[in-house]
Every structure is written in structure tokens, then in C-alpha cells.
Amino acid sequence: MMISFLGSLPLGTLNVAAMQIGIQESILDAMYFSFGSLLVEMVYVRLSLVGIDWVRKQQRLMKAMEWITLGIIVALAVGSFIAATKTGGTGKNVMLQNNMHRFLLGMFMCAINPVQIPFWFGWSTVLFSKKILEPVSRQYNSYIVGIGLGTLAGNCVFIFGGKWMVQKIANSQQYLNWVIGGIFALTAVIQLIKMMRHKDAIHKFTHTSEK
């Protein structure tokens, strides 16, 4: 739970998107989004614990997922900038102007984001080597529940923190739209550079066992 919580605190696509949903829609929708994303994350971790060799071989699938994720990040950045330029700066991100249930949206955005796979594979390997985590079904279940709770807690920091900022600072939603757009844009640039230099999630994942 602590690893997951601390891993959720750095600015990323999912936690910033959850914050934006909490600001522009409602806390409930943001929580639905978080539950959807953490559910997929928990499923990914469970699969990685029992089928890591198969997952490691799916390089083409993971590469396609990374390009799709990059496209969505760019679209979120553009949507945030457009929202910030609208009257009063309170416009809604165009990427969020859809009727998809926020739980399903969270599942979708997490499912196409392969970053958490090498992250949790790396931590699981460390915990196995230290004999903190053992290949026992009961420990697997506790481990996954802890991951889900940690991710939820981390997202709540962004969801409620973002809402608090909007309520306390005048015109803060316009500023936040600019800031959020900048975060997404910077994330997209960093992600593209990593992919071009072969330092992305796929490279880390497929070379985890190599020195």
C-alpha cells in the first residue's frame, strides 16, 4: 500500500486526469474514474505475478498501447489549453466531453497505459528476492488489495487537493487548466523522447533480467 501510494504521488496521466474530472465534474465521478483505473492496475499486477513470461513477449501489443497512450496525453493537453482559453477559463476539457461512464473511462485509460507493468514487476521482483513477498495465494491477494488501497489514497490527494484549490483561489480553475495542460504536454514530450531513445516502459520491462 505504501509503495503504491508513493508511486501515485508524482504527476502522471491518471492522477491528473482524476483531479481534472473532480474539478470539472464531481468528486463522485473522479472516484469512479479512480476505482476503474485501480481495478485494471490490480488485474495487471495479478497477471504479472502468474504469467510474467507471456506478458514479456507481447512487445508489439505494448508498443501499440504506448503510442495510443501518447495520443491520448496529447489530446488531454490540447483539451486543457482549449478549456483555459474559453470565457472565464472554466471550459471543460474536450476529452472529457463524452458520455462514457467515468468508471469505464478509468479502466480504459489505465488499460492502455503499460507504465505500471514494469513498475510493479520491478517491485515484485525486489520483494520476492528479499523474501518479503512469497508465491502464496494469500499473500498475493493481500499484496493486490494493498496496491489498490494505495493507488486510491494517492488519487484522493489529487482529487480533493484540486477541489480545495479551486474553492480557495479566485479564478483558480483557469490557472489549473493551463497548469494541467502544461503537465500533459510535458508528459507527452518526455514519453516521446523515451520511446525514441528506447528507454520507455517496454525496454525496461523486456530488459529487467539483463544487466
List, for residues 57-109, the tens digit of each pLDDT value: 666 766 776 777 778 778 778 877 877 777 555 555 655 667 789 999 999 88
Say which residues have a Cβ less than 8 Å from residue 96's Cβ, sequence separation at least 6. Answer: 20, 21, 24, 25, 79
Distance CA 38, CA 158 (A): 15
Q: How far is CA 133 from CA 64, 122, 126, in A?
A: 32, 13, 9
Could you count the other beta carbons within 10 Å of the beta carbon of residue 163?
Answer: 16
Query: Whole-structure pTM over 0.75, yes or no?
Result: no
The 8-class DSSP code of residue 67 comes to: H
Whole-number pLDDT of residue 115: 72
Whole-number pLDDT of residue 68: 75
Summarize pLDDT for 10-25 with one digit per residue, the tens: 877 788 889 888 888 8
Q: DSSP 3-state assignment of 44? A: helix
Decide if 159 contacts 33 (C-beta within 8 A): no
Say which residues have a Cβ less than 8 Å from residue 8's Cβ, sequence separation at least 6. Answer: 15, 150, 151, 153, 154, 155, 157
